[in-house]
Structure 1
Amino acid sequence: MKEFRIYHLFAACALASTSVAAENWPQFRGPDGQGHSTETAVPLRWSATENVAWKTELPGESWSSPIIWSDRVFVTTATDNGESCHVLALDLQDGRILWDKEVFKQVPRRKEGRNTYATPTPATDGELVYACFGDGSFAALNFAGGVVWTNREYKFYGQHGLGTSPILHAGLLIMARDGSSEGADKSLGWQKPWDQSYVLALDARTGRERWKAKRGQSRISHGAPAIWTAPDGRTQVVSEAGDVVQGFDVQTGERLWTSEVMGEGKVPSTVVGDALVFTAGGWGGKESIQAFRLGERGELNESNLVWVQKKGMPKVPSLLFLRPHLFAITDGGIASCLRADTGEMVWQERVGGNFSASPVSAAGRVYFLGDNGETTIIEAGPEFKVVAKNALGEKAQASPAVSQGRVFIRTERHLFCLGAK
C-alpha cells in the first residue's frame, strides 16, 4: 500500500524569505551543491569560546548538515534510538530553537557505525523545507513548522544505512537510491552488482513522483547527485553509484549515458566542472579519483575517461573543484591539490587527524573539518599554505555550511554559529 499524504496548501509560505539564493546555503554543499560559497567576509579564526555568535544544543543523533535561508537555520535529527524523525528551525541571529517537529516515526534498520538514522541533509527553496530520513521516507514542511506533505512510498535498505542527500532543481526534489538486498544474499547490491538501484525525482510542491530512472547493474553509493547543463541546453542529473557514473535528463529521467568507474561503496558526492565529472571513493585499495568528459551519449564504458589518480585519495569526503584545481582530503588526513584538467598532482601534504566531512570554499580559502572538530583552513592555490587551525573540541562529521558571513558547524551535541555576534 502506498503511503503518500498532502496535508494542506501553503498558507504559511508568506513567512519564507525572498532573499537572494547566493546569500543562503539551501542544500547539502551549498547553493550549487558543490561546496562553493560566494561569501567574502567569512571568519578565519575561532575556538569553542572565541568568535562564537551562538551555540545551541541539539537533541537526538544526526550527521545531516545545517541549511540556511534568510533568518532561519534548519537541521534534522532522530531521537528515541532513531525511531522519531524531527525537523528543527533555529533563529539565525541567536540560535533559539523556533520549532521542533516530529514528522513521522520509522523502524531503525541496519546501518554502519558512523552513520545515523537522520544523515541526509535537508533542502529548501525558501518556501518549504524538504527532509529525508534513514528508512527513505520524505517530508516537506513550511517555515512555520507545518507538515505540507509526506511520502513514505520509497523505503530504503542498505548494508550501511542511508547516507546520501536530496537536491533541488527546477521544482524537483532529486535523490539517488543505491541500496542493497535485505534478502538471503546480503552481498547483492553491495559486493555484487544488482539492478534495483535508481534515481528518483519528486514534484517538490506535492511530493508525487515525476520520474524514477533505473540504473541497470550497479552497487551501493552514498553520494548526492549534481546538475550539469550541456552546450545544447539540455540539463542533466549526473549521479554516481558503485561501478557506474551516469547522466539522466532532468525533466524526463531518460538515462543518457553510463560510464564505468572503479569500486563499490562510493561515498563522496558527484562533482562537476569544466565539462568534466569527477568521481571519488572506493574501498579495499581501489580508492581513486577519475575524471570523465561530459557531453557524450550511450554506454560509454571508459571511452570518455580523461584521467585517473590513485595516490592518496579519499573514501568518504567529497572533492572540491576550484578552477583550475581540484582539492581533496583523505579519511586519514592527507590533503591534495590536483590539476583538474590532467589529474597531475600539484601538492600533497599531511594535515593530520581523521575526516568524514566534505570541504567547502569561501573567500579564496578551503575549509577542511576534521572528525575531532578542528577546522584546517588553507589557501586555495598551487602552494600548500595553512592559514588557521580552529578547534571546537567536539566530534564532527557533518559538512560545514557558510552563509551571511558566518560558518555553521554541527558537532555531535551542538550547532555552532561562528562569526561576530
Structure 2
Amino acid sequence: MQQRFASLPAILFLLAAIPVCAQEWSRFRGPNGSGISDTTTIPVSWTEADYAWRIELPGTGNSSPVLWKDQLYVNCESDSGRQRILKSLDARTGKLLWSHEFESTSHRTHKFNSYASSTPCADEHHVYMAWGTPEALHLVAIDHSGQLVWQSDSLGAVKGGHGFATSPIVHEDLVVIARDTQAKGDSALIALDRMTGQVAWTVPRRGGRLNYSTPCVYKPQGRGAQLVFVAWPIGVTGIDAASGERLWEIEAFATDQGERAIASPIVHNDMVFATCAFANSPKHLVALRPESGNAPADVEEVWRVDNASVPHIPSLLVYDERLYAWSDQGICTCYDAASGKKIWQKRVGGRYFGSPVCIDGRLYCVDDAGICVVIATGDTYKELARNDLGEPSRATPAVANGMMYLRTISGLAAIGTYRGAGEIEE
C-alpha cells in the first residue's frame, strides 16, 4: 500500500508561520489544531481556591470551548438532545452574555458521545455551531452580539449509531466541515461562504463510516493552501481550499477491517501527521510529506507506527521537534517527529477522550475522571502534577487571554492570570 519517493528539499514545503501566541483560540485545539500555546500564566498545579471562576452549565456535553477576544463559546445540550445550545460567556468572569437554543431531535448515539460533542469555531464576524442528526447536518452563524445571521439545514443527513461529533473550521472566507455518514456513497466535504451560508463547494466521498476528525490547513511554500482531511476507509486527503479540487489522496490505513478516524490531523514543517484506529483493532499513526500535491504518488510516507499504543481519540501534538502521542488508555509516547524514532514511552494511567495541549513547554491532558495530568516535554518523561477537576471530563482545554478554560461534563472553569484582548461593554 505505501510507497516512498525521493523528497524535494524541505524548504520548498515550509509552512506559513502560525502565531501560537495569538489571543484567539478559535477552533478545536487552537491555532490550526496544533494544541500549542506559549502562555506563561498557567500554573502547573492548583486547588479549588485558585480558579478565577467556575460555573455550572445549563446542559451537558463534550464540546471544547473556543474564544474570540474576550468572549468564550461552548456547546451544550439538554432534554436528551432535543435542545442544542450555544452559550457565550465573558472570558474574564464566566458571566453569561447570551444564549441560543435550537430545537432538534433525540437519536441514537454512543454511550461516550454526547449531543454536544462538536466544538464551535469563530472569526471576527461570527461564531459557527454545527450539529448532526439522521435527518440533517445543521450549521449556523451567530454574530458576537448574539444575533442569528444564517442557518443551513440542507447539507445532507448524518446517519450512524455513534452520533455526531465533527467540528467545523474557518479558513479565509469559508466555513469548512466534513459530513461523514454510515450510508455508503453519501459522504461529502463541504465549504460554505462564512458571510452568507451559501455552499461554495462540495466534494462527494464514498464514505460508509462515521468519522469525527477535524481538518487542518497545510500551506506549502509557493502554492495555495490545502485542507487536510482524515477518514476511514478513505485515508488522508488534500483539498485545494479555494476550489475544492481534490489534489491528493492516499489510503494510509488498513481497509480490510472497520476503523474510525476520530483524532484530528496536525501539520509541522513540511509534514502531515494523522491517526486512525478502532477498539482492539490495529491502530495506525502515519507521517506524510505531500510533495507536488497533485497525485497519490506525490505523497511520501516518511514513517509510520502500527500498534496498540497509538491514540484512537486524542489528537497528536508536535512541540520542539518531538511528536507526543497520548493514547486513550493512558500511554504517552514521545517520538522524534522527523524520523519516528521512539524517544520514550510511559503509562500515565487513566482513560482519555480529550486531547493534550502544550502550554509553555508542558503537556496538559484531562482524563475522563476529571484528572488533569501535567507532564514535562523533552527527552525524558517527568510527571509534574495531577489536578482533580472534581467531575468527569471528555473535552480538550482551551488556552487564551492568559488563562486555560476547562470543560467538564456539566461545568466550565478558568485557571490562570487574565490578560484580556479588550473590554466587553456591559
- TM-score, normalisation: structure 1: 0.88
Aligned length: 388
Match of 2:87 in 1: 88
> Do the aligned partners of residues 286 and 296 (structure 1) sit closer, same or farther apart at CA in structure 2, a change above 3 Å counting?
farther
Distance 1:83 1:77 in 2: 11
1:108 CA drift (Å):
2.3
Cα shift at 1:304: 2.0
Distance 1:229 1:286 in 2: 31
* 1:415 to 1:332, Cα distance in 2 relative to 1, 3 A: same
Residues 22 and 38, structure 1, Cα contact 8 Å, conserved in 2: no
Secondary structure of the 2:22 match is helix
d(CA) in 1 for partners of 2:54 and 2:152?
33
Q: Give unmatched runs, 5+ long, in structure 2.
A: 1-19, 419-426
User: Residues 261-340 of structure 1: matches in 2 within 5 Å?
Assistant: 261-263=252-254, 264-283=259-278, 284-300=280-296, 304-311=300-307, 312-340=309-337
Letter in 1 for 2:285: I
Aligned counterpart, 1:407:
404
What is the alpha-carbon distance in structure 2 between the residues aligned to residue 273 and residue 108 of structure 1? 39
* CA displacement at 1:303 relative to structure 2: 5.9
Distance in 1, Cα, partners of 2:92 & 2:209: 43
In the alignment, is the contact (CA less than 8 A) between 1:370 and 1:397 conserved in 2? Answer: yes
CA positional deviation for 1:94: 1.4
Task: Answer whether contact 2:141 2:150 (CA < 8 A) is retained.
Answer: yes
Q: Write the deviation string for residues 234-273 of structure 1: whole angstroms up to 9, x where unpaired.
A: 1100100013100000001000001012242111001111
* Preserved contact between residue 212 and residue 263 of structure 2 (Cα < 8 Å): yes
Q: Which runs of 4+ in 1 moved over 6 A?
A: none
Q: Measure, in 2, the Cα distance between the counterparts of 1:342 and 1:73.
A: 38
Percentage of matched positions with identical amino acids? 35
Give the match for residue 200 of structure 1: 190
Residue 134 of structure 1: CA displacement?
3.0
1:71 aligns with 2:70: yes
Q: Quote how far apart the aligned CAs of 1:331 are.
A: 0.8
1:247 to 238, 243, 247: 238
- Cα pair 2:232 2:276 within 8 Å, conserved: no
What do residues 192-243 of structure 1 show as CA deviations (whole Å, max 9, x unaligned)?
A: xx33222111111111100111234664321000101112221100100013
Letter in 2 for 1:105: E
User: Amino acid of the residue matched to residue 277 of structure 2?
Assistant: G
Q: Write the distance in 2 (CA, Å) between the matches of 1:68 and 1:92.
A: 8
List gaps (5 residues or longer) in structure 1.
1-19, 182-193
Quick check: 1:138 aligned with 2:133?
no
For 2:298 and 2:207, how far apart are their aligned partners in 1?
A: 16
1:313-359 deviation per Cα after TM superposition (whole angstroms, max 9, x unaligned): 11110100114111011111011111111111110001111001011
Aligned-pair distance for 1:62?
1.4
- CA pair 217-91 structure 1, distance change in 2 beyond 3 A: closer
Alpha-carbon distance, 1:21 to partner = 8.1
Q: 1:177 aligns with which of 176, 179, 189?
A: 179
Partners of 1:109 and 1:28 lie apart in 2 by 24
Counterpart in the other structure of 2:424: none
User: What is the root-mean-square deviation of aligned Cα atoms in Å?
Assistant: 1.8
The residue number in structure 2 matching 1:120 is: 118
Q: Which stretch of structure 1 is more off in the superposition, 228-237 or 20-29? A: 20-29
Instruction: Note the C-alpha offset of 1:375.
Output: 1.0
Cα distance, 1:303–1:404 mapped onto 2, change above 3 Å: closer
Residues 280 and 127 of structure 1: CA distance in aligned 2, closer, same or farther (over 3 Å): same
Matched, 1:32 2:23: no
Name the amino acid aligned to 1:367.
Y
* Residue matched to 1:166: 168
Separation (CA, whole Å) in 2 of partners of 1:323 and 1:221: 30
The alignment partner of 1:23 has SS state of: coil
The structure-2 alpha-carbon separation of the partners of 1:169 and 1:303, relative to structure 1 and needing over 3 Å to count, comes to closer
**Alpha-carbon contact 1:245-1:261 (below 8 Å) kept:** yes
- Alpha-carbon distance in structure 1 between the residues aligned to 2:379 and 2:407: 30
Indicate the residue corresponding to 1:379 in structure 2: 376
> How far is the alpha carbon of 1:401 from its aligned partner?
0.4
Name the CA distance, whole Å, in 2 between partners of 1:383 and 1:153.
51
SS in 1 for 2:186: coil
The 5 A counterparts of 1:99-110 are: 99-102=98-101, 104-110=102-108
**Once structures 1 and 2 are overlaid, which stretch shifts more, 236-245 or 37-46?**
37-46
| Cα distance change on mapping 1:395 and 1:301 into 2, 3 Å | farther
Distance (whole Å) between structure 2 residues aligned to residue 303 and residue 201 of structure 1: 24
Instruction: Decide whether the 8 Å contact of 1:400 with 1:409 is kept in 2.
Output: yes
Give, in angstroms, the shift of residue 127 of structure 1: 2.1
SS at match of 1:99: strand
Which one-letter code corresponds to 2:290 in the other structure? Answer: L
